[in-house]
Structure 1
């Protein structure tokens, strides 16, 4: 059976080391509100967006310039009936050379179409990987969700009617 985990891939001209450093700088591409260390093995960090999404993760695997894996320890979505979605899933970044370029393959292991959050999460991850992380790697400046003010998550919340 074909794997259904969400996956997104980008190709960049930067080195695997530059890519690795950008990925571990999670506040530079996902959210400025990340709390905790995101570049130390076994360290835990927390992502949250208002009362809509809370996520606690642990860096469980790190092979410099090749692979980064975070395990989702706890998660809350205001908009799902199943409050266990994402718990026990993994955020996996594989970094490989493709000729003169570097490929980044992001896989959210366990995020499958059967999940209630799948369409929203697919849209969010596509933005964060193909837009924000790509820009952080290629220009030095990503488009993470800001600590304050409106950002991509605000647009998503409005589009999917997640706020009252």
Structure 2
């Protein structure tokens, strides 16, 4: 049986360039729900940013490892401390991906958190949080 990564797909009438420009900066979309603090950079290969949320219950460092302008963004989680888990570094080594494409007259965005699988202790809670952020992003894009 294959491992199922958390994934979420949305479409928007905004151009692939507009969408890419929003997604490349997590301060544009990974905020506004749980007292998030985002510091650092996220636009060039090897850029790193720190994400903290839930009054420091979630702390992680993401490194940009792949970028194809207007098509793909991949951050690797290089450090994580999720204080509400037994295995606090559960996110370390996972990847946060955005794949952007044109489909008919729409821009399609596929978000995948590679490595965030149902076997993870935080899968239910983290999937729920991702869904909240991505629903908020969807509203912003429409």
Relative to its length, the structure with more strand (as a share) is 2
Give the secondary structure class of the aligned counterpart of 1:83: coil
Aligned partner of 2:139 in structure 1 is 135
CA-atom RMSD in angstroms: 1.2
Aligned partner of 1:44 in structure 2 is 48
Give the secondary structure class of the aligned counterpart of 1:34: strand
Aligned partner of 1:82 in structure 2 is 87
Question: Which whole-Å CA distance do the structure 1 matches of 2:120 and 2:66 have between them?
Answer: 25
Q: Which residues of 2 match residues 1-164 of structure 1 at below 5 A?
A: 1-31=1-31, 33-49=37-53, 50-129=55-134, 131-138=135-142
**Larger C-alpha radius of gyration, 1 or 2?**
1
Deviation at 1:3, TM superposition (A): 3.9
Runs of 4+ aligned structure 1 residues displaced above 4 Å come to none
Relative to its length, the structure with more helix (as a share) is 1
When the two structures are superposed, what TM-score results if normalisation uses the length of structure 1? Answer: 0.80
Deviation at 1:38, TM superposition (A): 1.6
Change (3 A) 1:119 1:137: same
Instruction: Name stretches of at least 5 consecutive residues in structure 2 with no aligned partner.
Output: none
When the two structures are superposed, what TM-score results if normalisation uses the length of structure 2? Answer: 0.91
Question: Which whole-Å CA distance do the structure 2 matches of 1:3 and 1:14 have between them?
Answer: 32
Question: Are the aligned partners of 1:24 and 1:39 in contact in 2 as well (CA < 8 Å)?
Answer: yes
Question: Which whole-Å CA distance do the structure 1 matches of 2:72 and 2:61 have between them?
Answer: 20
Aligned partner of 1:145 in structure 2 is none
